[in-house]
C-alpha cells in the first residue's frame, strides 16, 4: 500500500480526503492520509485563516488545497476577469423568467421571497459567486501557494499554466480531476503530475463514465503518470478494487461529510446518515454543471416540465444560494441538499476521521491477503 506516490508526498497511506472542513483535513493528514482542503467557498482572507489554522494543527504532516478552475464558464466567455462588480454583472445576465421560477418554487414551499435585501457581505462570495470564476479562483491559488502545501488540486480543468509553474518551483505536486480520458491526456500535457479519475458515482461535479471503466482507461492512457481513483470509494474493498484497476491511490470526498470532526449542520448530518445510494441524483440544479447531490424538492423542480431549464455556471448557483438563504430563514429543509455520492448508503454512522482511515487500511489489507490466499491455494 505504501508506494512511490506516498514516498514522494511524505504520506503513509495513499488515501486522499477532499473536504471543506479544516478539522477533517488536519485529522486525515495526522492519521497518515492526505487531507485536501476545498478552497472554493472561502474568500481569500478566510482561506488564509483556514490554512494558517491547518499549519498549526497538522503536526508537520503534508496536506493539500483544492480549487475549481472551469475550462468553460460564462464569466470567461463574457470576458469578466475582475472581481469588482462581478456578482452584479452576472446577476444582470439572469432572465426574469428564472427569478420568477425561483419565486414559484419558494412559494410552493410557503417560503416568502421578498425583494433581495442587502447582503451582510457584499463580496462576490456573499452574493453567491464562489471561487469558480477566473476572478475569484485565481487569488485562492495565490493564498494556497503561500502555505507549505504539498498538493495543489484542481477540478473542472487544470490550474492555469503560471500556477502550475509556480507550484513546481515550490516543490508542490499538481493534481487535476477528470471524468474522461481526453481530459486526462490534456492535463498531463499541461504539466499536471497526478490525475484524479473521478467516476459517475462520485459526489460533486462528475462525468457520465463509471469509476470501474474510467480508471483503467485513464491509467493506460497516461502511464506512467500516477492516477488516483475517485467516485464510490468508502471501504477497504473498494480501495482494493481501485488499486487493482491500476490506481496509485484513492481520492475520496463523500465519506468525510459524516465524520465526527465534520462541520455539517445537524439537519444535513441526519439527511446524510439516512440517505441511500438511489437518493442521489446527477443534476445541474445546484451549480449549472452536472453534480451528484441529494435529491431534493429543488433538484426535482428543475426537472419538472414547467422548468425554464438550468442556467450555466456560475449563474445557476446565484439562484440556488438566493433560494437556500430564504429557505434557511424559515427553517425549510425540503429544498436543502448537498453534494454527495452514491457511497452515501455506507455512511450510516459517525466515526472519527482517524477511524475511517484505519478501517479503510484494515479492510484493504484483509481483502488483499484473502485474494492472495485464494490464488495460492488454487
Ligand atoms: C460535498 C462535496 C463537495 C465537493 N466539492 C468539490 C470541490 O469543490 N472541488 C473538487 O475538486 N471536488 C469536489 N468534490 C468532489 C471530490 O473531490 C471527490 O472527487 C468526490 O467526492 C469523490 O467521490 P466520492 O464522493 O464518491 O468519494 C466534492 C464532493 C463532495 C461530496
pLDDT in tens, 238-254: 999 999 999 999 999 99
Q: Is 203 in the pocket of ligand 1 (CB under 6 A)?
A: yes
Q: Is 38 in the pocket of ligand 1 (CB under 6 A)?
A: yes
| Nearest Cα residue to atom 21 of ligand 1 | 253
Q: In this structure, what are the phi and psi dihedrals at residue 198, rounded to the nearest 5 degrees?
A: -110, 120
Closest atom of ligand 1 to 255 CA is: 27
**Mutation to probe ligand 1, out of 21, 33, 38, 231 (largest number of atoms < 8 A from CB):** 38
| Nearest Cα residue to atom 14 of ligand 1 | 204
Alpha carbon of 373 to ligand 1 centroid (Å): 35
**Cα–chain center distance at 56:** 24
Q: Is 252 in the pocket of ligand 1 (CB under 6 A)?
A: yes
What is the predicted pLDDT for the residue at 88?
A: 87
Q: Which residues of the chain fall below pLDDT 50? A: none
Closest atom of ligand 1 to 201 CA is: 26
- The CATH H-level (homologous superfamily) assignment of domain 4-74+130-263+340-377 is Aldolase class I (3.20.20.70)
Which residue do the cell numbers 456573499 mark?
126
Instruction: Please tell me what DSSP assigns to residue 339.
Output: B
Alpha-carbon distance of 43 to 21, in angstroms, equals: 14
What is the predicted pLDDT for the residue at 86?
A: 86
**Mutation to probe ligand 1, out of 18, 159, 176 (largest number of atoms < 8 A from CB):** 18
Q: Is 37 in the pocket of ligand 1 (CB under 6 A)?
A: no
Identify the CA nearest to 137 among candidates 91, 71, 52: 71
Q: Is 286 in the pocket of ligand 1 (CB under 6 A)?
A: no
For the chain, what are the domain ranges?
A: 4-74+130-263+340-377
Alpha carbon of 120 to ligand 1 centroid (Å): 28
How confident is the model over 312-369, as pLDDT tens digits? 999 999 999 999 999 988 989 899 999 999 999 999 999 999 999 999 999 999 999 9
Q: Is 66 in the pocket of ligand 1 (CB under 6 A)?
A: yes
Contact 94, 314 (CB under 8 A): no
Alpha carbon of 20 to ligand 1 centroid (Å): 9
Closest atom of ligand 1 to 339 CA is: 1
Q: Is 341 in the pocket of ligand 1 (CB under 6 A)?
A: yes
Locate the DSSP E strands across 266-361: 280-283, 291-294
- Within 8 A by CB and 6+ apart from 302, the residues are 283, 284, 285, 309, 310
Q: Is 317 in the pocket of ligand 1 (CB under 6 A)?
A: no
Direct distance between the N- and C-terminal alpha carbons of the chain, in angstroms, rounded to an integer: 24
Rounded to whole angstroms, what are the CA distances from 263 to 21, 320, 347?
6, 21, 16
Q: Is 253 in the pocket of ligand 1 (CB under 6 A)?
A: yes
Closest atom of ligand 1 to 342 CA is: 26
Alpha-carbon distance of 221 to 98, in angstroms, equals: 42
**Mutation to probe ligand 1, out of 141, 203, 205, 256 (largest number of atoms < 8 A from CB):** 203
What is the predicted pLDDT for the residue at 125?
A: 81
Q: Is 206 in the pocket of ligand 1 (CB under 6 A)?
A: no
Q: In this structure, what are the phi and psi dihedrals at residue 38, rounded to the nearest 5 degrees?
A: -75, 120
Alpha-carbon distance of 361 to 253, in angstroms, equals: 17
**Mutation to probe ligand 1, out of 20, 200, 202 (largest number of atoms < 8 A from CB):** 202
Alpha carbon of 377 to ligand 1 centroid (Å): 40
Alpha carbon of 339 to ligand 1 centroid (Å): 7
What is the predicted pLDDT for the residue at 234?
A: 98
Alpha-carbon distance of 248 to 245, in angstroms, equals: 9
Alpha-carbon distance of 314 to 312, in angstroms, equals: 6
Amino acid at each position: 500500500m505504501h508506494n512511490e506516490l506516498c514516498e514522494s508526498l511524505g504520506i503513509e497511506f495513499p488515501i486522499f480526503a477532499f473536504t471543506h472542513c479544516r478539522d477533517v483535513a488536519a485529522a486525515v493528514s495526522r492519521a497518515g492520509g492526505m487531507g485536501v482542503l476545498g478552497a472554493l467557498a472561502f474568500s481569500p482572507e478566510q482561506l488564509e485563516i483556514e490554512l494558517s489554522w491547518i499549519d498549526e494543527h497538522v503536526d508537520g504532516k503534508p496536506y493539500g488545497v483544492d480549487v475549481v478552475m472551469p475550462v468553460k464558464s460564462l464569466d470567461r466567455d463574457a470576458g469578466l476577469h475582475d472581481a469588482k462588480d462581478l456578482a452584479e454583472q452576472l446577476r444582470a445576465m439572469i432572465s426574469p423568467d428564472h427569478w420568477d421560477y425561483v419565486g414559484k418554487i419558494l412559494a410552493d414551499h410557503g417560503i416568502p421571497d421578498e425583494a433581495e435585501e442587502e447582503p451582510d457581505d457584499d463580496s462576490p462570495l456573499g452574493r453567491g459567486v464562489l471561487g469558480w470564476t477566473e476572478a475569484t479562483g485565481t487569488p485562492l491559488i495565490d493564498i494556497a501557494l503561500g502555505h507549505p502545501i504539498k498538493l495543489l488540486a484542481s477540478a473542472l480543468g487544470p490550474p492555469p499554466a503560471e500556477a502550475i509553474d509556480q507550484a513546481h518551483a515550490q516543490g508542490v505536486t499538481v493534481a487535476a480531476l477528470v471524468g474522461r480520458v481526453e481530459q486526462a491526456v490534456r492535463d498531463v500535457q499541461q504539466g499536471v503530475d497526478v490525475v484524479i479519475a473521478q467516476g459517475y458515482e462520485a459526489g460533486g461535479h462528475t462525468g457520465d463514465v463509471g469509476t470501474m471503466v474510467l480508471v483503467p482507461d485513464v491509467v493506460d492512457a497516461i502511464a506512467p503518470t500516477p492516477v488516483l481513483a475517485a467516485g464510490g470509494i468508502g471501504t477497504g474493498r473498494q480501495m482494493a478494487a481501485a488499486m487493482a484497476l491500476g490506481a496509485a491511490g484513492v481520492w475520496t470526498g463523500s465519506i468525510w461529510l459524516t465524520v465526527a470532526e465534520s462541520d455539517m449542520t445537524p439537519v444535513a448530518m441526519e439527511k446524510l446518515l439516512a440517505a441511500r445510494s438511489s437518493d442521489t441524483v446527477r443534476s445541474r440544479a445546484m451549480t449549472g454543471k452536472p453534480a451528484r447531490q441529494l435529491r431534493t424538492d429543488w433538484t426535482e423542480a428543475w426537472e419538472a416540465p414547467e422548468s425554464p431549464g438550468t442556467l450555466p455556471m456560475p449563474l445557476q448557483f446565484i439562484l440556488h444560494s438566493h433560494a437556500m438563504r430564504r429557505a434557511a430563514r424559515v427553517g425549510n429543509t425540503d429544498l436543502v441538499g448537498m453534494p454527495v455520492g452514491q457511497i452515501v448508503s455506507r455512511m450510516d454512522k459517525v466515526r472519527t476521521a482517524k477511524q475511517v482511515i484505519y478501517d479503510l487500511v484494515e479492510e484493504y489489507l484483509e481483502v488483499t491477503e484473502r485474494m492472495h490466499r485464494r490464488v495460492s491455494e488454487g
